[in-house]
Chains A and B, each alone.
Chain A
């Protein structure tokens, strides 16, 4: 083969390989689309946790953490979610994270950047951190996180020569901000306003709370009844209820260089119907439509550059074809007088142009990474629970499959309101029936949150219906039920230890695993008033399968006594 032809082929091969590398440069995150489509948030969380990216230097690390944090909070485990969200918060508060990746992003493609999300995704990450901190009772920190969520949607002017303003464009005077201790903004992010107002109210900063409630009403007048209810401060529980799947980020146009968001769950203004202990229904409006947020708050700073790369790449490919065509024409015209070295040169030039064109086109696509676990809409529900073990029924009007019954909610004993995040099921159509556990309204197991259920008491690992932590009190209740008369607390604890069961989040590196009821080794329960709690305790689970020889021997020794429980 002639050297010139080999050179051309070599150049083309390198170009194809490089283009292929650019196209296939998307980091490998676990795909949980099937689980999300079926509203199987538990399995989605498990998969992400098992296969999560552990290296903080990985470009997709923050995205993976955000997905895990949101699903963990949906599960009802605020403690574990805090471990995750604190890292996400650190990343969002770091400015110019991709400063050192600017060259690669511009010349090659945007997938090489650290994922930090669109502004609306950053704001929602901080909203979830707000919810997590509020669920833990840290209202001062929740206020700070909500403040940051509003900040991320500020109208930042790219021209730094302009005079500085406070976040969100409020009239800036250092003295007035110091005096008031806060600054309101004009982002129109109603959910952010409501959460900031809620947190301020818990800190007894009523003027600040009122200002943010007013901002929410100004942004969306349909929220006036909710804000009036919050202002009266007659609630002891706040449910943040979400539904559906947020929009998908796609590339459109030539070489997928145009940013677009496609709805996965259609927007709608159907209210959330809430009923306490089967009393009358109350309707609550949507406070946040994430489909709409995605359209209004994205940062398309490289749009022009991507278009130019695509156009230039197309031009170079066309030019390459033109060079070859011109060379062919020359050959025909000159016949035997045609200089072959000219032809070789033309081939190399054409190949080089084609390679550069392919590389530019391959790198012109947008970064399509997005947070796929965000919901489509959010509701905010302040309620006052006066009776112990109240059931709260939630359903979106016209969507029977979304119905969820939360059991075991009681008035807080410390006088401070509880905030809970609830994720409704979205899989199915208007006629679909929700899963059994979602609507049972029952608690099938004695537990440390709602206490013992009626009937004889025996640990789940011994064939019973109790998942309370072993203690003198629980052992007494087992013995009063006629079981474990000759067993001490130490012996009982040893059985749990032999099974590898862990009682605290700290013992599990700050992230509680699957519960024992679902085949895991954790005894950490989701908070009451969450879909995770309903799913775990609102249905019967298969009997426990002993793992250790110690437990098997114990069960054999006490077979007659324990068979009564089964």
Chain B
């Protein structure tokens, strides 16, 4: 019995150490890849369950959605590849991929990417690539943030708004937002 309790004490101590070690305070409030992953998944689920989409069938009129890269109005620098990857994550998520089959919705290559492809490639065939894109909707996103800081603490609250707009009607058919907070300890100048 004593041996069991001894072992249990050690296990509890080891677990506590693990928790403490894994809970070391963060040193930066920058956005992380995990934040973008979680956010993309949540927003993909939201779009798939939205009123505009949930009642559609495979025979509904085709929606062709083009995406813009994220507009960054936050206090953190997001590289261009990060800005595109946010949209790419949503597009490649399982709920969104199901839309192709069940709701007659397609995502197409963004216009900026298409132009870059046409400009960079010397092959004549790329000149006509994407000629039947004809998007019907456009998805866009904007990142913002608010900062609170003292000498040794900083907190950034990030929130991202997504919109899906009909290109012919300019009507917003879906929008949602996602928030998360990042806190860091340690002197700002050190």
Contact = CB atoms under 8 A, between A and B. Distances in A.
Interface of A: 86, 89-90, 93-99, 116, 119, 122, 129, 133, 138, 140-141, 143-145, 147-148, 151-152, 154, 156-160, 162, 164-167, 172, 174, 177-178, 181, 183, 203, 205, 299, 471-472
Interface core residue of B73, B77, B122, B188 (most chain A CB under 10 Å): B77
A472 B122 contact: yes
Given A140-B72, A181-B73, A151 B149 contact: yes
A-B pairs, top 8 by smallest CB distance, nearest first, are A96-B186, A95-B186, A156-B151, A140-B72, A164-B148, A141-B77, A177-B146, A144-B77
A208 B152 CA distance: 28
Contacts of A93: 28-30, 76
Interface in B43-97: 71-80
A93 B188 CA distance: 8
A122 to B, nearest CB: 7
B77 A116 contact: no
B170 interface: no
B119 to A, nearest CB: 12
Given A160-B153, A164-B153, A181 B186 contact: no
Contact of B152 (A141, A151, A152, A160): A160
Interface string B21-35: 000000111100000
A524 B29 CA distance: 35
B101 interface: no
Contact of A157 (B75, B80, B151): B151
B148 A166 contact: yes
A178 B158 CA distance: 10
B154 interface: yes
B190 A143 contact: no
B190 A144 contact: no
What's the interface size class on B, roughly? 20 to 34
A166 B150 contact: no
B184 A129 contact: no
B68 to A, nearest CB: 12
Contacts of A157: 150-151
Nearest to A158: B151
B113 interface: no
A172 B155 CA distance: 13
Nearest to B155: A164
B190 A98 contact: yes
20 contacts: A89-B77, A94-B186, A96-B27, A96-B186, A97-B186, A116-B190, A129-B77, A141-B72, A141-B78, A141-B79, A151-B75, A156-B151, A159-B151, A160-B150, A164-B149, A165-B148, A166-B148, A166-B149, A167-B147, A472-B122
Interface in B1-29: 27-29
Nearest to B76: A144
Nearest to A489: B122
B101 to A, nearest CB: 35
A320 B81 CA distance: 64
B144 interface: yes
B150 A172 contact: no
Contacts of A144: 72, 74-78
Contacts of B185: 95-96
A351 to B, nearest CB: 36
Contacts of B187: 95-96, 99
B27 A95 contact: yes
B146 to A, nearest CB: 5
A418 B185 CA distance: 38
B28 A86 contact: no
Interface in B142-190: 144, 146-155, 157, 184-190
A65 to B, nearest CB: 16
Contacts of A183: 146-147
Nearest to A105: B190
Contacts of B184: 95
Contact of A471 (B122, B148, B155, B188): B122
B149 to A, nearest CB: 5
A86 B153 contact: no
Contacts of B71: 140, 203
B28 A94 contact: yes
A152 B189 contact: yes
Interface string B122-153: 10000000000000000000001011111111
Contacts of B76: 93, 144
A98 B190 CA distance: 6
Nearest to A172: B148
Nearest to B74: A144
Nearest to B80: A138
B81 to A, nearest CB: 11
A205 B142 CA distance: 14
B181 to A, nearest CB: 11
B189 A299 contact: yes
Contacts of A177: 146
Interface string B95-119: 0000000000000000000000000
Contacts of B157: 174
A395 B131 CA distance: 50
B122 A95 contact: no
B146 A174 contact: yes
Contacts of A122: 189
A147 B185 CA distance: 20
A154 B149 contact: yes
A99 B186 contact: yes
A72 B189 CA distance: 25
A156 B189 CA distance: 10
Contacts of B189: 116, 119, 122, 152, 156, 299
